[in-house]
A = this chain, B = another copy of it.
Amino acid sequence: MKVIVIGGVAAGMSAASKLKRSMADVTVHVYEKSSDVSYGACGMPYYLSDVIEKDDSLIARTPEQFKERGIDVFTKHEVTGVDFNNKTVTVKNLTTEEHFNASYDKLLITSVASAIRLPVQGSDLLGIHVLSSLDDARALKDALAQKTVQTVSVIGAGYIGVEVAENLVEMGKNVQLIEMQDQVLPPYDSDMSAHVEKRLKDNGVDLHLNTTLKHYEGTHGVSKVVTDHGSFETDLVIEAIGVRPNTAFLKDSDLTMLKNGAIHVNNKQETSIPDVYSAGDCASVPHLLKDAPAYVPLGTHANKAGRVIAAQLSGEAAHFHGVVGSNVLKAFDLEVAKTGLSEKEAAHENYDYDVVNVKAANQAGYYPGATPIYMKIVFENKTCKLLGAQMVGKQGVSARINTMATAIQRGMTASEFSNLDLAYAPPFSPVWDPLQIATNQIKC
């Protein structure tokens, strides 16, 4: 069996590795457009500020290491088209500019996603960066190293925007963070994201909410960001407004896709075309709390979905279990985490829901160093089924969210959660875990 993998980051290399472990005689060819495979993209904001000094720290395995495992990786090779009837792909060697065709028995489309660029006037000026590949990160790090770059404008205050802003502050840059919506971290409810907004401002970030980019100005390089609420002098711009699946090369095919171009897959990672699988940031995921398939481009899902493909191809029973939207990020000294639905998401999905907002200490109140955790729990009326949790605090948030994530994935009610036997000791928790203090407030 010959397997072609388009794109060699999380899902693609996770699938290739597990497949090769399961089936020694399979031929696996991976075509990767960029210079790198198998790297930790989520670490890139910290690479900018030298919290992580070297780019190769982010690389889990090199093409050579995959070769030793019997996987042929071709970097700087872009797949430009697929003939699904004849089961061939057209590949462009980006170094030689030569094209060639390659045939497959099974095709894995794991072509990830790229940063969305804003199609405004001046967007071709020098000094406007994005951060979605390791090549992007290297270019951005080089640019930030220039002494003339003192003021940096970050467009978009989602996860990446906030993480990048923090790392720019660490580097001593002046940071302007510009967000179109009325809050940072749009997946969160605004009463929870307000904690992060305060922390950004406390750390000197010049935060502009409700502010839409109009265009860029500059002669050679960008020097001004023009918005609907004023203009900002700048030495460099980082656009962090989201990502779009790298599926443009498939746009004339019969593959079923979501509106944004994500490839629709079932829970076996099968696409709408036989022998073609997809996973990772270019594919949909089933969301356990939403009716429609979702687009949630995260490395955790990509790794799991990649393994599902390998299992399918090697005849193991396996399926993707779905997501609930769990995430966590560091925002200066805060841990910020969410699982399940926010209040606005619950409303959008037409749940009959209610919420509780609860503040509780991360450890026994009498134990020195206790800090508050702010929690918002969304639950279904009548059943008291837990639908979502958002948490913000200095300590004890990041791992705690996963207790709630597990409960939500198992369909637990507030009362069932309150009755869980959770571990307790004064340095780590009050006698009722903060999450149980919150669920105790829910009466059903």
Interface residues of chain A, those whose CB is within 8 Å of chain B, are 10, 40, 42-43, 46, 51-52, 57-58, 298-301, 303-304, 318, 320-330, 335, 337-339, 364, 366-368, 396, 398-403, 405-407, 409-410, 412, 415-416, 418-429, 431-433
Contacts and interface: CB of A to CB of B under 8 A. Distances in A.
Given A42-B431, A398-B399, 11 more contacts: A42-B426, A298-B424, A300-B431, A303-B431, A327-B423, A328-B424, A328-B429, A398-B425, A403-B405, A406-B422, A410-B410
Contacts of A326: 421-424
Given A326-B422, A410-B412, A419-B304, A43 B402 contact: no
A325 B51 CA distance: 39
> For the complex formed by this chain, how many copies does it contain in all?
2
Nearest to A432: B303
A40 B361 CA distance: 15
A57 B366 contact: yes
B410 A422 contact: no
A420 B58 CA distance: 24
A431 B321 contact: no
Nearest to A325: B421
A23 B432 CA distance: 23
A301 B431 CA distance: 9
A10 to B, nearest CB: 7
A415 to B, nearest CB: 8
A58 B402 contact: no
A43 B364 contact: yes
A320 B433 CA distance: 17
A400 to B, nearest CB: 5
A58 B366 contact: yes
B424 A300 contact: yes
A367 B46 contact: yes
B325 A368 contact: no
A309 to B, nearest CB: 14
B301 A421 contact: yes
Q: Which of A298, A327, A420 has the most CB of B within 10 A?
A: A420
A402 B425 contact: no
A412 B433 CA distance: 22
A318 B413 CA distance: 13
A365 B120 CA distance: 39
Contacts of A303: 431-432
Contact of A328 (B323, B330, B335, B428): B428
25 contacts: A10-B431, A42-B425, A46-B367, A52-B367, A299-B424, A299-B431, A300-B422, A301-B421, A321-B416, A321-B420, A324-B421, A326-B421, A328-B428, A398-B429, A399-B400, A399-B402, A399-B403, A399-B428, A399-B429, A402-B403, A402-B420, A402-B423, A403-B403, A403-B406, A405-B422
A418 B46 CA distance: 27
A136 B204 CA distance: 51
A122 B335 CA distance: 54
Contacts of A421: 300-301, 321-326, 339, 405, 409
Contacts of A299: 424, 431
A412 B410 CA distance: 9
B419 A401 contact: no
Nearest to A415: B318
A405 B412 CA distance: 14
A326 B403 CA distance: 13
A402 to B, nearest CB: 4
A427 B420 CA distance: 28
Contacts of A409: 420-421
Nearest to A324: B421
B300 A426 contact: no
Contact of A423 (B43, B57, B328, B415): B328
A342 to B, nearest CB: 14
Contact of A402 (B52, B327, B400, B416): B400
A298 B364 CA distance: 15
B423 A367 contact: no
A328 B51 contact: no
Contacts of A10: 431
A429 B42 CA distance: 11
